[in-house]
Amino acid sequence: MAKRSSKKSSRRYSRSASEDVEKEMHDYKRGKARSGPGGRGGKVKSRKQAIAIGLSKARSEGKKVPKRSSKKRSAKKRK
């Protein structure tokens, strides 16, 4: 693992948010990742989808994750 520097750095994603994405990828690689509220949706079929689910979980837990881009949010509202 990389050595943490003592110099103050501004991380975009918190370490715990990265761990959430890592856990979701672990599930995805083993075919256990599910989409939807409470995992009641279908099977996650792409890496991008698994990463998005991990970030979404981190956001809901209040971890440091950047907001969704305005392009994606406006596209979601249109649907």
Domain range list for the chain: 15-65
Distance CA 40, CA 51 (A): 18
Tell me the two tokens of residue 17. 């948010």
What is the three-class DSSP state of 73?
helix
What is the three-class DSSP state of 55?
helix
The model's confidence at residue 44, banded by pLDDT at 50, 70 and 90, is very high
- Residue 34: per-residue pLDDT: 93
The model's confidence at residue 39, banded by pLDDT at 50, 70 and 90, is confident
The pTM of this model reads 0.72
The model's confidence at residue 4, banded by pLDDT at 50, 70 and 90, is low
Q: Is 28 exposed, middle or buried (0-12, 13-18, 19+ CB in 10 A)?
A: buried
- What average pLDDT does this structure show over 42-68? 92
* 57-74 pLDDT tens trace: 999 999 999 888 777 667
